[in-house]
Structure 1
Amino acid sequence: MPKFIKWFARALAVSVPVALGVVTVAYSDNLRKPPAIKETSRPTVAVRVVTLAPIEVVPRVTGFGSVEPAREWRAVARVDGEVVEAAPDLANGEVVSEGTMLLRFDDTDFQLSLAQIDAQLGALVVKDQTLGASLGIVTSDLELSRAELTRQETLVEQGVATQTRLDTARRAELAARAKVVEVENQLSLNAAEREVLKAQRAVIARSLAFTQIKAPFDIRIGEVSAELGQVVTRGQTLVTAEGIEAAEIAAQFSLGRIGPLLRTMDEGATVRDLKARVRLPAPGHTVMWNATVDRVGEAIDARTQSTVIVVRIDAPYAQAEAGKRPPLRRNTFVEVILTAPKRKALVAPLDAVRGGKALIVSAKGTLEARAVTVGYTIGDIAIVTEGLSEGDKLVVTDPAIAVPGMAVKPVEDKKVLAQIAAAASGKGGK
């Protein structure tokens, strides 16, 4: 190899690494800096909102309870006797009208006792007639005796008659008076005996009335524990029944929900002024009954802080329709809805104002937190009394993706708005 070429190769072997080192040192500051970041614009997040406006609200509160008859009845034997007749409809579940004879006992002994007393009363009438005739006779005899006594007294004063004849006249007058008193006393005794017999007759007649048991009002028969030929004793329960003219539901209501409901009404309004409906879920549909608030329970449940409000439904059996509206029977569990007069208010989904906080979309298109006051709630909606105004765009999107201050694009949720309006008016299922 020529010497020149060898020399040139050695020069390159030394100069190239040195040159690379110099270049590396020269550009080391630039190598430490990160690459420039290219600016990008984030897309605006869309959030679902409802624009608030006063809507018609039917303030209401719900409670639950079981159906009970407004009146119950027990037929208790008031006399001893054998059952000799029973009504054909005397069976569990049968409905009978007021005045229907249900059971009749053997009344032979009572009838005989009445006949005996009537005979004694008849005998007293005859005695009174006889004594009346005797009284007339002895009264006439007394008048003659008194006249004779007066005549003898005059004769004695004139010295014509003796004292002996005067004494005889006096004894005759006393004897006649005694006979009158005796007959009058006998008449008085007869009158007293007549009153005793009448009282005895009244007692027996009353007992005789107890030999028939009749329905005191329209009833539905419950348990029957008497049958033909059975000998019953006084005090034995023979039939249980319940009235069908009305049903009652003693429903439990939270005090914390009843108070706000009353505050929506005029001053001085009470629970009795609320309207009531009874709701029974049935397969495929819901059955409703109109009711009235009858009374408020006295005691407060210490554990739940609830009170009992009793509502009444008139003629529940008459309102029954086969396949559509079942009769309200004992122990049926139902929902009771109490409503106040309708009014306009700002209504929001309960989840959007939970905890007293809400998010709205401001005029700048950003999220803004608001503190709100909820007057009362109805199901899944809340009636807002403070913190929100008409025209506010309330965010109903999941709060996990909504942060105060972030720029958003409000999208009106018409479905939620319709649900709010339906629930507020009472057409949303409750």
Structure 2
Amino acid sequence: MAPAITLAADAPTLSSANTGFMLICSALVMLMTPGLAFFYGGMVRVKSTLNMLMMSFISLGIVTILWVLYGFSLAFGTDSGSLIGWNSDWVGLSNIGLTELWDGYTIPVFVFLVFQLMFAIITPALISGALADRVKFSAWALFITLWVTIVYFPVAHWVWGAGGWAFELGVIDFAGGTAVHINAGAAALGVILVIGKRVGFKKDPMRPHSLPLVMLGAGLLWFGWFGFNAGSWLGNDDGVGALMFVNTQVATAAAMLAWLIYEKIRHGAFTTLGAASGAVAGLVAITPSGGAVSPLGAIAVGVIAGVLCAMAVGLKYKFGYDDSLDVVGVHLVGGVVGSLLIGFFASGKGQSEVQGLFYGGGLDQFWKQCAGVFAVLGYSLVVSAILAFLLDRTIGMRVPEDDEVAGIDQAEHAETAYDFSGAGGGAARSNITGPVADSASKKVDA
């Protein structure tokens, strides 16, 4: 996408319908970050619940301010060397006209930039799931600041900015398979290789403390993802946004079912955690590909992603890296699968006329997808590991071992997610008064 242009006689005119639609989509994408917080928060142990929620919520604050100051300019400003953008008029967003349209579209620049802001917010929040239980909150906040500046903003320009090398090469990424999911998943892997495993990894039980919270978070993510995906066409005058909406639902359903079937065959049960994780895997995989494939292709994408991501989450035990909440297994693997499958399932009837191998287009698009996928993966992995190493050697990335064992919520936030101090039985919760109640209360207090 190119920098904003001034209205001219032959230029598009502002569409109230598309503007309203995009504002709603922006709000839906914003909701995904609290949804992610619930999803991750339910997957950790009780003693880490609040920290997990805060690691997502803090991104709403930090990235918003950085986006206003310079992030939007770096990601979508005038290209420099196919690697980064810049537009000094956008610094602080003070020189953008209220009715100034985004290049070639019928929505204001302000609408486009706030929609893209929500993508920038959730991407570092995705990384946090891999680091559960063991990272200082202050170090995490500083990591977000550095990471979005050095990694996310440039990668967003590569993929979506006019002049960005991946954009010009023809890499297809409808809504963030490379820029969001591979980027975050590779970063997560880079950081955990530096900071190491949780205390008790592969020894102590580390089961989710609240599967209802996990399901709530997954439901909010699924709901918000319609804005994430369908909104990325920046309107729906030609039906491509509607195709993406349908494919989002179809692929997510297929991936959830595929994950559950694999889980039943492999482990003997249909779990709620598997259903939630499978749904997210499908959402991730269809994000880059949904505008290029047919609904039947979306089923294939979902099934393949569901099975491969379910297989991938177990790799941490085989290879010994501690990806706490399966960010690598779901987001990195799901993003890679969804991006590469475009080279096979692109129908030529969606966002472009590009056809994949199974539609007679050969492997040309597949090789382009490979270039985008592995460039983003390698860059994010290496730079994220370097950032984590520098922070760990300066301010320290990890909490002390005693704090990790006792509970990071209390150590970092001076709070706990659940207050059981008032819980009791019998007279402590009844309307009984008098000596019997007094006696019962003393027993409860003791």
Structure number, greater radius of gyration:
1
TM-score (norm 2): 0.15
If each structure's strand is expressed as a fraction of its own residues, which one has the higher value? 1
If each structure's helix is expressed as a fraction of its own residues, which one has the higher value? 2
RCO greater where, 1 or 2, for CA within 8 Å and sep 6 or more? 1
